[in-house]
């Protein structure tokens, strides 16, 4: 599903943020990407989501080499990857419902089907009844769930989230992780970047550890 | 196809929403473009209103040969035939006018009938009116023929009477040139205003553009609402300029009508026909959409 082969990433003339990264993730896996702040977790997720290009090496997502995809085809691959970035990127001049409708407008789904699918996504993340609210009126945890709803509404094969539990209390973080688990149970390959070691300890999952100058696949641990 | 149509409806909805979200700024832009558009529209109105006047009075030079008083109609006709044969290449129409018919025509006119009553006999001579073909150099050719014919023995006077019409034609040509320059000026203003509006919008909508790209939007999807924004601004400005020109002409035409009535005509300035106006508005919309496209290409790379 996802394959990194000798991937390097640097910005400008700076040092490599990621150096010689090799791993592969099979369909339906639930993987944590861990490491301290600034180690390159977000960069790794952005590479998978096609939001950044590697400096060297090849990345294969859903059987397609990212570096060989033209600019015109790249958006179509992005639709197969649901992305939740650290700052969520919600649109605060629209309602929660309209935020979730955006990916459906992008694929040109008819309004009835789109509305039904958006409602279903909102229900899945537990935000029913809050469709008409502006995201600013939602709590941090609810905003995170709204971002998840928007990421999964197009039924992506891969779901990646960057620090989705940061700034949330333990109960809210637990609920968010449960939402990801639910999607993973139905076959969505899920990658979550987190520096919260306590969270990783509580969840027995495969973990990729990124530290400055070091990358290690820790495998699945209990 | 359905997806394509839905994308366009979505883009139009977003564009309208963005226009309405900043009503004062949108109206200012529309008003600026409309005021600039009103100038060529007014010039076009004057042009289309003047053209029929120029058409009704032949633009081609007409030469009138007034025969000597004693020359009879038969000899005048003979001369007419001779001139026609000798100058077939230049003459479009030749008409021999009987002095009695000319007098009858004058008597029919109320302002002349009283004056003619006091004359003991017909003071008018027979005459020949020659219209010269439009060949490009008809003015100089007419001048040359008028000079030659004035030395004919039976001809008393030659009148070359269409110089003022040629001047009018020259004025209309000049107005067309001015109109072209105004149109270019309008295009520059439309491009500048829409370019800047879209640049500002692209900056304001930066987050939305980023999110759309994040969820797999193509560049066409991202740019389309801005193209509609440009086109809608152009359309609104076109309609507003039409209204402004209509109101402007309504007040101007009152004064023009009074003036033209004093000359016995009913000349008014009217707007060009609907097809012309629709084409002009569509052209403004296209120019505005292209300006938006240009602006987006330059300002959405983030």
CATH number of the domain enclosing B146: 3.30.70.3040
What span, in angstroms and rounded, lies between the C-alpha atoms of A74 and B248?
54
What span, in angstroms and rounded, lies between the C-alpha atoms of B63 and A29?
99
What span, in angstroms and rounded, lies between the C-alpha atoms of A125 and A142?
9
- Cα nearest neighbour of A111 on chain B: B6
Q: Which of A155, A171, A193 is the last residue in one of the domains?
A: A155
Query: Which residues in chain A have their CB less than 8 angstroms from residue B218's CB?
Result: 72, 75
Mean pLDDT estimate for chain A: 88
C-beta of residue B160 within 8 angstroms of C-beta of residue B63: yes
C-beta of residue B77 within 8 angstroms of C-beta of residue B277: no
What span, in angstroms and rounded, lies between the C-alpha atoms of A95 and A106?
17
Domain assignment present for residue A170? The answer is: no
CB-CB under 8 Å, B211 with A75: no
- Cα nearest neighbour of A51 on chain B: B214
User: Which domain range does residue B36 map to?
Assistant: 2-56+166-299
* CATH for A207: 3.40.50.300
Domain assignment present for residue A134? The answer is: yes
Domain assignment present for residue A164? The answer is: no
User: Which domain range does residue A109 map to?
Assistant: 81-155
ipTM over 0.90: no
Count of domains forming chain B: 2
Q: Which of A85-94, A207-216, B68-77, B111-120 has the lowest mean pLDDT?
A: B111-120
pTM beyond cutoff 0.80: no
- Are residue B180 and residue B281 in the same domain, yes or no? yes
Residue A86 CB neighbours (<10 A): 15
- Are residue A71 and residue A115 in the same domain, yes or no? no
The 3-class secondary structure across chain A, one letter per residue, is CEEEEEEEEECCCCCEEEEEEEEEECCCCEEEEECCCCCCHHHHHHHHCCCCCCCEEEEEECCEEHHHCCCCCHHHHHCCEEEECCCCCCCCCCCHHHHHHHHHHHHCCCHHHHHHHHHHHHHHCCCCCCCCCCHHHCCHHHHHHHHHHHHHCCCCCEEEEECCCCCCCHHHHHHHHHHHHHHHHCCCEEEEEECCHHHHHHCCCEEEEEECCEEEEEEECC
- Are residue B173 and residue B289 in the same domain, yes or no? yes
What span, in angstroms and rounded, lies between the C-alpha atoms of A126 and A137?
16
Query: Which residues in chain B have their CB less than 8 angstroms from residue A76's CB?
Result: 216
**pLDDT tens track for B76-134:** 999 999 999 999 888 889 999 998 898 888 888 766 777 777 777 888 899 999 988 87
**pLDDT tens track for B206-239:** 888 888 998 899 989 999 999 999 999 999 999 9
To the nearest whole percent, how much of chain B has pLDDT over 70?
91
- Are residue A143 and residue A214 in the same domain, yes or no? no
**pLDDT tens track for B126-147:** 999 998 887 666 667 787 888 8
Please identify among residues 4-33 of chain B the ones whose CB lies closer than 8 Å to any CB of chain A: 4, 6-7, 10, 21
- Are residue B250 and residue B291 in the same domain, yes or no? yes
Query: Which residues in chain A have their CB less than 8 angstroms from residue B21's CB?
Result: 93
Count of domains forming chain A: 2
Q: How does residue A51 score in pLDDT terms, banded at 50, 70 and 90?
A: confident
- Are residue B291 and residue B173 in the same domain, yes or no? yes
Domain assignment present for residue A168? The answer is: no
C-beta of residue B299 within 8 angstroms of C-beta of residue B203: yes
Residues facing residue B43 across a β-bridge: none
Under 8 Å CB-to-CB from B140, ≥6 apart: which residues?
none
User: Which of A52, A105, A112, A149 is the best substitution to test chain B (most B C-beta atoms within 10 A)?
Assistant: A105
CB-CB under 8 Å, A103 with B216: yes
Q: What confidence score (pLDDT) does residue B241 get?
A: 94
- Are residue A93 and residue A143 in the same domain, yes or no? yes
- Are residue A72 and residue A107 in the same domain, yes or no? no
Residue B210 at interface with chain A, using a CB cutoff of 8 Å:
yes
CB-CB under 8 Å, B210 with A106: no
Mean pLDDT estimate for chain B: 85
- Are residue B215 and residue B272 in the same domain, yes or no? yes
Residues facing residue A84 across a β-bridge: A161
- Are residue A75 and residue A185 in the same domain, yes or no? yes
**pLDDT tens track for B32-56:** 999 988 988 888 888 888 777 665 5
- Chain-centre distance of CA A98, in angstroms? 20
C-beta of residue B84 within 8 angstroms of C-beta of residue B149: no
């Amino acid at each position: 599903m996802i394959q990194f082969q000798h991937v390097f990433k640097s910005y400008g003339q700076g040092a490599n943020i990621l150096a010689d990264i090799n791993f592969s993730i099979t369909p339906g896996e639930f993987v944590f990407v861990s490491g301290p702040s600034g180690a390159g977790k977000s960069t790794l997720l952005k590479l998978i989501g096609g939001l950044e290009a590697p400096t060297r090496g090849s990345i294969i997502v859903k059987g397609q080499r990212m570096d060989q995809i033209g600019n015109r085809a790249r958006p179509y691959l992005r639709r197969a990857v649901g992305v939740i970035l650290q700052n969520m990127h919600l649109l605060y001049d629209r309602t929660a419902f309209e935020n979730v409708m955006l990916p459906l407008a992008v694929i040109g789904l008819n309004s009835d089907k789109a509305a039904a699918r958006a409602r279903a996504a909102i229900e899945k993340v537990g935000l029913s009844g809050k469709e008409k609210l502006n995201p600013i009126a939602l709590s941090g945890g609810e905003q995170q769930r709204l971002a998840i709803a928007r990421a999964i509404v197009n039924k992506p094969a891969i779901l990646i989230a960057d620090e989705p539990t940061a700034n949330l209390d333990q109960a809210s973080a637990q609920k968010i992780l449960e939402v990801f688990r639910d999607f993973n149970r139905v076959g969505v390959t899920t990658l979550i970047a987190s520096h919260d070691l306590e969270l990783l300890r509580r969840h027995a999952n495969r973990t990729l550890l990124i530290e400055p100058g070091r990358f290690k696949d820790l495998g699945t641990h209990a | 196809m359905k997806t394509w149509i839905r994308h366009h409806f979505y883009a139009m909805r977003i564009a309208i929403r963005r226009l309405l979200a900043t009503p004062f700024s949108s109206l200012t832009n529309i008003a600026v473009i409309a005021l600039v558009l009103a100038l060529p529209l007014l010039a076009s109105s004057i042009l289309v209103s003047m053209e029929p006047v120029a058409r009704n009075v032949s633009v081609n030079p007409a030469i009138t040969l007034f025969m000597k008083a004693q020359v009879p109609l038969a000899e005048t006709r003979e001369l007419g035939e001779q001139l026609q044969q000798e100058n077939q290449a230049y003459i479009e129409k030749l008409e021999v006018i009987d002095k009695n018919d000319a007098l009858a025509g004058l008597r029919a006119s109320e302002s002349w009938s009283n004056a003619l009553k006091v004359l003991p006999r017909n003071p008018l001579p027979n005459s020949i009116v020659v219209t010269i073909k439009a060949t490009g150099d008809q003015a100089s050719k007419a001048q040359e023929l008028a000079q030659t014919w004035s030395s004919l023995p039976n001809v008393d006077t030659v009148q070359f009477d269409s110089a003022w019409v040629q001047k009018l034609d020259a004025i209309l040509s000049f107005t067309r040139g001015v109109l072209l320059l105004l149109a270019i000026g309008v295009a520059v203003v439309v491009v500048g205003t829409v370019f800047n509006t879209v640049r500002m919008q692209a900056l304001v909508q930066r987050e939305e553009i980023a999110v759309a790209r994040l969820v797999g939007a193509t560049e066409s999807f991202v740019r389309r609402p801005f193209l509609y924004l440009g086109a809608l601004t152009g359309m609104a400005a076109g309609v507003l300029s039409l209204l402004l020109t209509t109101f402007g002409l309504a007040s101007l035409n009152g004064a023009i009508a009074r003036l033209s009535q004093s000359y016995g005509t009913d000349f008014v300035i009217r707007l060009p026909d609907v097809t012309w106006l629709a084409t002009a508005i569509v052209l403004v919309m296209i120019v505005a959409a292209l300006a938006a496209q240009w602006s987006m290409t330059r300002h959405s790379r983030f």
